[in-house]
Structure 1
Amino acid sequence: MKQQISVNIKETALRTIGLEAAAIRSLEQYIDDDFTSAVELIARCEGRVVITGIGKSAAIAQKIVATLNSTGTPAIFMHAADAIHGDLGMVREHDIVLCISKSGESPEIKVLVPLVKNFGNVLIAMVGKKDSFLARSAQFVLNTSVEQEACPNNLAPTSSTTAQLVMGDALAVCLIELKGFTAADFAKFHPGGTLGKRLYLKVEDLRKLHDAPKVNVNSSLREVIVEISSKMLGVTAVLDDAGQLQGIITDGDLRRMLEKSIDPKDVTAADIMSINPKAIQEEELAVNALEMMRQYDITQLLAMRGDQYAGIIHLHDLIREGII
């Protein structure tokens, strides 16, 4: 029968977080001239950043590749073991090679590095040992040394891979700022899913989904009810004879009017409309419309084209598109 081991799970988790947090903090001392030069070199690169590694470092390399590609720096992943069996052919003349390794002494790395140098490509090392073969061979070194792995045996890559990941993020964020990469640029690379829609979907895109409900200020109560019901948005804009916006009527306004002792036959749109309705320009992002709805606790906004009424954007549109 296997002996049960008593473990304080919370203490172990907190110790792990503490050790990895310390590893990240220690990276501050390694942001040096080599780091600066590496960022500037990659920013000027006419090719791609080829990121390679083996084992857990290879997994980190793939994440850094994804981050760079999504933020405007072309990058590809090359597994160090596959590289020496043919994949090295993916490295082009103007590419920069970033090799990630904790020890800098892996057999695959020792075979790969001289080949990269023979090609004439710039080699950047992200390595945990400054005196390693990889560090000595590289033009620039991104130091990711850690004092201790979070693994209780100090063996499994934990603190070291966290340090690599954070160093990669620091590299990517510096490139974002150096290149002036904007939210609009980001949206171009993230057109799908909720994130993409929050970055590019506009009010105009959503108000076009519906016919624009509208009545004249002199429209009868019956005409108002028919317009609200037929457009199925629970609201209608109220315009004057010149087509200028005067107010808004919601189904709530209708209910409140009917609660009063008023003869419905004499009621016009002007009698029950709310003036100064909440509105948003149609070129605004849809996510801004959501913020306005939350701010004023409402479910519809008038979409405007300049000072002209263009239509309605409804909370349901935002829900359907996954903005919420």
Structure 2
Amino acid sequence: MKYSSPVSETARQTLRIEAKALEQLADSIGEDFTTCVEAIYRRGDRLIVTGVGKTALVAQKIVATLNSTGTPAFFLHAGDAIHGDIGMVQPSDLVLVLSRSGETAEIDVLSLLVKNMGNTLIAMTSKRDSTLARRAQYLLLTPFEREADPNELAPTTSTTLQMAMGDALATSLLALRGFTPADFAKFHPGGSLGKQLYLKVGDLYPRNQRPLVYPDTPLLDTLYEMTSKCLGATAVVNRTGERLVGIITDGDLRRMLNRHTDLTDIRAEDMMTTSPKSVIDTDLAVAAVTRLREDSISQLIVTDEAGAYLGFVHLHDFMREGMV
């Protein structure tokens, strides 16, 4: 049974009103939107995004999304613009003005200034017949039936539509540019999303120690190598070229002890698992994380493309990078 209370019903009603408005906005996308996007793309100049009150906050979010997806954009508060900051607008800039009604005092002054300066003016408003819409060369219309709050006063539906229209603008420009995951990583190098696109295994394994034994290494020396290098495992390599031939983990040790009572002549090759799970140093770190999850293990051996042993990556390396 669906939970119900006055609070939950108000919340559901708000979301339904906004969802319906978004569906109607999606259906309304047409030639006006297309010509606006193509104009921004063709010009390739900066896009100044401005508003006042709640629309100023929406404008800042739109600017952040545009910049992160390859469209140079700057935020300009409409109130500050008409008190001197209009000087930041260069002759080649396009100016996107957000206003629900298109008739507020600051927006009226600003839109006239932009038009007189000769800049391309783009209006995002819910009123096709507003002063702002009539002055603009391009119109991004965001009509709605009602705000979602019970009093139909607080900017709710209107700002939701503006935010969504900004996303549609950014993603359409992204598609026109052929913006790739690699491009996205260039703009997001410090976040976990960006790291998934550029961080490689080779950036991580040098932090760890490099346990190594040979097939004929005695049991005690093997144990010392495993415990002293703090990984609980060791790679087994041949003596010429250090090519990987196996791995010994604590599980391998337990299985060996169950099989043997006389440990005198036990060597690494008697304990090792051949064909160990490994990654290449040039692999993306996110691919290594996937391997760890799929195989339910905590570490992988790292090799170069020729199969030479380089080191280990551990689950903790990816946790430090915020990838797990």
Q: Output the TM-score relative to the length of structure 1.
A: 0.94
Q: Structure 2: where are the runs of 5+ without partners?
A: none
Equivalent position of 2:38 in the other structure: 40
Q: Residue 206 of structure 1 is aligned with which of 198, 204, 212?
A: 204
- Counterparts of 1:283 and 1:144, CA distance in 2: 47
**TM superposition shift of 1:198:** 2.8
User: Displacement, 1:314?
Assistant: 0.5
Shift of 1:113: 0.9
Q: Tell me the equivalent position of 2:50.
A: 52
Report deviation, 1:276.
1.4
Paired residue type of 2:120: V
Deviation at 1:256, TM superposition (A): 2.5
* Partner Cα separation in structure 2 for residue 137 and residue 21 of structure 1: 30
CA distance in 2, matches of 1:223, 1:41: 70
Query: In 1, distance between residues paired with 2:181 and 2:232?
Result: 34
Deviations 1:184-239 (A, max 9, x none): 22122212243333332211111011232221111111121111112111111111
- The whole-number CA distance in structure 1 between the counterparts of 2:39 and 2:169 is 11
Is 1:303 the counterpart of 2:307? The answer is no
Q: Distance in 1 between matches of 2:176 and 2:116?
A: 30
Aligned-pair distance for 1:305?
1.0
Aligned mates of 2:321, 2:232 — CA distance in 1? 19
Code of the residue aligned with 1:269 in structure 2: it is: A
Consecutive unaligned residues in structure 1, runs of 5 or more = 1-6
1:80-229 mapped onto 2 (5 Å cutoff): 80-229=78-227
Aligned twin of 2:290: 291
Structure 2 SS opposite 1:238: strand
Identity, % of aligned positions: 54
The SS at the match of 2:256 is helix
Instruction: Give the deviation of 1:21 after TM superposition.
Output: 0.5
Q: Secondary structure at the match of 1:123?
A: strand
Partner-residue secondary structure (3-state), 1:142? strand
Distance in 2 between the 1:65 and 1:114 partners?
A: 22
Q: How many angstroms apart in 2 are the aligned matches of 1:125 and 1:246? A: 66
Secondary structure, counterpart of 2:231 in structure 1? coil
Cross-structure match for 1:278 = 277
Find the counterpart in structure 2 of residue 323 from structure 1.
323
Equivalent AA in structure 2 for residue 166 of structure 1? A
Calculate the TM-score normalised by the size of structure 2: 0.94
Q: Which residue of 2 aligns with 1:312?
A: 312
- 1:30 and 1:142 in contact (8 A); partners too: no
Q: 3-state DSSP class of the match of 1:156? A: coil
Kindly indicate whether the alpha-carbon contact (under 8 Å) linking 1:221 and 1:267 is maintained by their aligned counterparts in 2.
yes
Are 1:221 and 1:269, in contact at CA under 8 Å, matched by a contact in 2?
A: yes
- Residue identity in the other structure for 1:164: Q
The 4+ residue runs of structure 1 with deviation greater than 6 A are none
SS in 1 for 2:92: coil
Secondary structure at the counterpart of residue 208 of structure 1:
helix
CA distance in 2, matches of 1:150, 1:60: 17
Q: CA deviation at 1:141?
A: 0.6
The DSSP-based 3-state class of the residue aligned with 2:264 is: helix
Distance (Å, rounded) in 2 between the aligned partners of 1:75 and 1:68: 6
Q: What SS class does the counterpart of residue 228 from structure 1 fall into?
A: helix
- Partner Cα separation in structure 1 for residue 173 and residue 279 of structure 2: 35
Aligned to 1:3: none
Q: Which residue of 2 aligns with 1:245?
A: 244
Measure, in 2, the Cα distance between the counterparts of 1:284 and 1:313. Answer: 12
Aligned length: 318
Q: Residue type of the partner of 1:159?
A: T
Read off the aligned partner of 1:137 and give its amino acid letter.
Answer: R
**Is the contact between residue 68 and residue 74 of structure 1 (CA under 8 Å) also seen in structure 2?**
yes
Aligned to 2:61: 63
Do structure 1's residue 236 and structure 2's residue 262 form an aligned pair? no
| 2:56 partner SS | helix
CA distance in structure 1 between the aligned counterparts of 2:73 and 2:12, rounded to whole angstroms:
35
